[in-house]
A and B are shown apart, each in its own frame.
Chain A
Amino acid sequence: MKQATVRKVVDLKGHQCPFTFVLTKAHLEEMDSGILEVIVDYPPSAENIPRSVIAQDLGKIISVEHIEGNTYKIIIQKSNGIK
């Protein structure tokens, strides 16, 4: 039987850079594998989080979606073996 993919959503609205990345990194480190959805309302985080996740090899950016106003959703794939 195929194992369901873990999907975790974290709402980081109200936080700014670089703390949004600190929280994203901590959540990714805690996950063995799966999908992390990060919601931010600080527009620079929508650019900075994906860039830092890639730079630190924490996961793969699936998408960055503009929801409304200043709110963005970043979807990150954490794979087995990634630190």
Chain B
Amino acid sequence: MGGQLPFNFTMEQLQRYSRQIILPNVGAKRQRKLLDSNVLIIGAGGLGCPAAYYLVAAGVGEVGIVDMDTVDISNLHRQILHFTNDVGKPKTISATEKLEALNPDVVITPFQERITKKNVCQIIDKFDFILEGSDNFATKFLINDACVSLGKPFTIAGVLRFEGQMMTVVPGNSNCYRCVFPEPPPLGTVPSCQEAGVFGAVTGLFGSLQASEAIKYLLGIGELLTGRMIIFDILSMSMTIAHTGKNRNCKACGDSPIDLLNSYDYESYDVCELPNG
């Protein structure tokens, strides 16, 4: 076939994304939009690995990954981008190697560092959508507060044992994580990583849901999981969708928000309490 292909695609790209382009709600124009978009993933763990895989496979143009940990053998039953011979390797490097091999169209930007209130705004600022998949409440609240402050849409999930929960936030249009959970749970009230355990496939389920929220947002299709929280227990196969509302007293997005990034003590919650990382 002679001539230039539509939207500056190569033939290989049209073939790679053909099953996506063929979808009525996607098409070539939106596929191009996806290739021009970027997403930041917080945590290359149980949630971040499947999320990254689907975002990269779908052709999101740039995927940033923040994680300071190295691969441990106990991660491998759920963190699907890391393999046995990656044990001891930084997770960002392990993930980048797999993702670059999966789809050379996509730029992978690793951040091998801890995300803190000092660097959070600088790291998330350039990204269109943030996918929070960390293993601790300090980071979850930090990402919520930073995203609300900068007006960044994000999806946030947590997984424990056989259950997971997730919501999406579009600042200005929906309630935030802190509207639902004003403060992290008191230390010691949630089991630690080592105690609680996690069923690997649950992280895959929620990581995939998070990826689909990111892609839907970038493409402008469907309905996001805003104003709602999904809670899924795979042991009983029961799903609850809890409707959430704006909390006028929310410190992040209520009637009188405060400058949390400069005043909140995230570090006091800086322990691994959710085994999804």
Residues of A that sit less than 8 Å from B by CB: 10-15, 18-19, 21-23, 25-27, 29-30, 55-56, 83
Contacts and interface: CB of A to CB of B under 8 A. Distances in A.
Given A18-B18, A29-B6, A30-B6, A23 B1 contact: yes
Contacts of B2: 11
Interface of B: 1-3, 5-7, 9, 14-15, 18, 21-22, 24, 27-29
Interface centre among B1, B7, B9, B29 (most CB of A within 10 A): B1
B27 A25 contact: yes
A12 B2 CA distance: 9
Nearest to B15: A19
A23 B9 CA distance: 11
Given A19-B15, A19-B18, A21-B22, A26 B1 contact: no
Contacts of B29: 29-30
The interface residues of chain B, by DSSP majority, are classed as helix
B1 A12 contact: yes
A29 B125 CA distance: 32
Contacts of A11: 1-2
5 contacts: A14-B1, A25-B21, A25-B22, A26-B28, A56-B24
Contacts of B18: 18-19, 22
The winner among A10, A22, A83 for most chain B CB atoms within 10 A is A22
Contacts of B14: 19, 22-23, 26
Contacts, number: 47
Contacts of B9: 26
Nearest to B9: A26
Contacts of A55: 24
B3 A10 contact: yes
Contacts of B21: 22, 25-26
Contacts of B22: 18, 21-22, 25
A25 B5 CA distance: 12
A30 B8 CA distance: 10
Contacts of B24: 55-56
Contact of B27 (A13, A18, A29): A29
A29 B14 CA distance: 14
A19 B18 CA distance: 7
Contacts of A19: 14-15, 18
A19 B14 CA distance: 9
